[in-house]
Amino acid sequence: MAHILMKYGGGLITTKSQMKTVDRDAISKLSRIVSELSGLGHKVTIVHGAGSFGHLKAKQWNIANGAQEDIIEQQKEAVNSIREDMLQLNTEVCNSLSNHDIESKSFPPSDWARDTGADFSGDLSPIENCSEGVVPITFGDVVDCSPPKLFGILSGDDLMVRIGKEIPGITHCIFLLGDTEGLLSAPPSDPNAALIPVWKKDQEVSGEHDTSQDVTGGIFLKLESASMISTIIPNVWFIDGRKPERVIELLKTGTTRGTQIVQ
Ligand code: IPE
């Protein structure tokens, strides 16, 4: 039996540029795969991103950089509002799983985590000890931070690192991407971009980080996170989340189309 830790990228489950637009078809396709994996006897843990339920307001009020005296009141309002929006997106993911007969339990980071980056503090044991047959879910969120920051953005990629490294027994760690088949030799918009099937730490990449919408680290944070996880977990992959059946192929055959991250 495998234990698969999957991250649904925010760009996969929402339209990133349009405030709070959920992609129900994409989510439903993912739920079907989770159901198939459970049917095959595997355990699944899910982390999801924010997309347009997090990045746009966070960008508008500079939430990632913490409290700013001149706009603190608006920032506090934005923090509450982003947390509510994230719960709403999380409910979409859970409802879709439930429609596919999968029971899940959510662990919103604003309840249990503080500080940002991969060394955030928080107890992962409730996620680890979630009842058998129940899929634990957590997500990128606004978390409380020590002063003077007061708040900041904890990315789902950082959650992947900590869960991947600290919860024993995870065999596969999969980043499902919304706009690419894996790591490309050039930005996805470049017609000459080719899929890199295996990526090793320090291998150069020419990525792009769309700072107009993205308040966390984009593809570079993802690579760094994946590379850290690959020190512990043998199967770390970037896979096209629009074709989630590739996850099944990976489990059945040991390989698929995507990028494997190795040490
Ligand atoms: C960001 O989480 C969380 C917020 C902006 C509130 P992620 O960094 O995991 O989200 P995506 O996958 O880039 O959307």
pLDDT tens digits, residue range 60-74? Answer: 999 999 999 999 999
Tokens representing residue 236 in the block:
């770390």
Buried-exposed string 1-15: b where 16+ CB fall within 10 A, e elsewhere: ebbbbbbbbbbbbbb
Report the alpha-carbon distance of residue 11 to residue 193 in Å, rounded. 19
Residue 192 has pLDDT above 90, yes or no: no
CA of 82 to the centre of ligand 1 (A): 11
Higher model confidence: residue 162 or residue 213? 162
What CATH number does domain 3-262 carry, 3.90.320.10, 3.40.47.10, 3.40.1160.10, 3.40.50.720?
3.40.1160.10
Pocket test for ligand 1, best of 212, 216, 238 (most atoms within 8 A of CB): 216
Residue 242 has pLDDT above 90, yes or no: yes
Per DSSP bridges, beta strands 151-154 and 141-144 are antiparallel
Cα dist from 82 to 61, 77, 92, 116, 127, whole Å: 11, 9, 15, 16, 23
Q: Residue 159 CA: which ligand 1 atom is closest?
A: 9
CA-based nearest residue to 56, from 82, 75, 74: 82
Instruction: Please report, rounded to a whole number, the percentage of residues in the chain having pLDDT higher than 70.
Output: 95
pLDDT band at 212 (very low <50, low <70, confident <90, very high): low
CA of 50 to the centre of ligand 1 (A): 4
One-letter amino acid for residue 225 of the chain: S
H helix or E strand, kind and range, residue 179:
none
Q: What pLDDT is attached to residue 213?
A: 59
Residues near ligand 1 with C-beta < 6 Å? 9-10, 49-51, 54-55, 58, 82, 86, 140-142, 153, 155-157, 214-216
Instruction: Please report, rounded to a whole number, the percentage of residues in the chain having pLDDT higher than 90.
Output: 87
Contact 52, 19 (CB under 8 A): yes
Residue 179 has pLDDT above 80, yes or no: yes
Q: What pLDDT is attached to residue 219?
A: 79
Residue 137 has pLDDT above 80, yes or no: yes
Stated pTM of the model: 0.96
pLDDT tens sequence across 99-115: 999 999 999 999 999 99
Residue 174 has pLDDT above 90, yes or no: yes
For 129-149, what is the mean pLDDT?
97
Q: Residue 86 CA: which ligand 1 atom is closest?
A: 6
Phi, psi of 196 (to 5 degrees): -95, 110
Residue 244 has pLDDT above 90, yes or no: yes
pLDDT band at 12 (very low <50, low <70, confident <90, very high): very high
Q: What pLDDT is attached to residue 202?
A: 82
Q: What pLDDT is attached to residue 217?
A: 66
Computed over every residue of the chain, the mean pLDDT equals: 94
Contact 213, 204 (CB under 8 A): no
Q: Residue 9 CA: which ligand 1 atom is closest?
A: 12
pLDDT tens sequence across 32-66: 999 999 999 999 999 999 999 999 999 999 999 99
Q: Of the given ranges (83-97, 126-140, 189-203), which has the lowest mean pLDDT? A: 189-203
Q: What pLDDT is attached to residue 211?
A: 63
pLDDT band at 191 (very low <50, low <70, confident <90, very high): confident
Report the alpha-carbon distance of residue 134 to residue 38 in Å, rounded. 10
Strands in 97-255 per DSSP E: 103-106, 113-114, 121-122, 134-139, 141-144, 151-154, 172-177, 198-200, 235-240
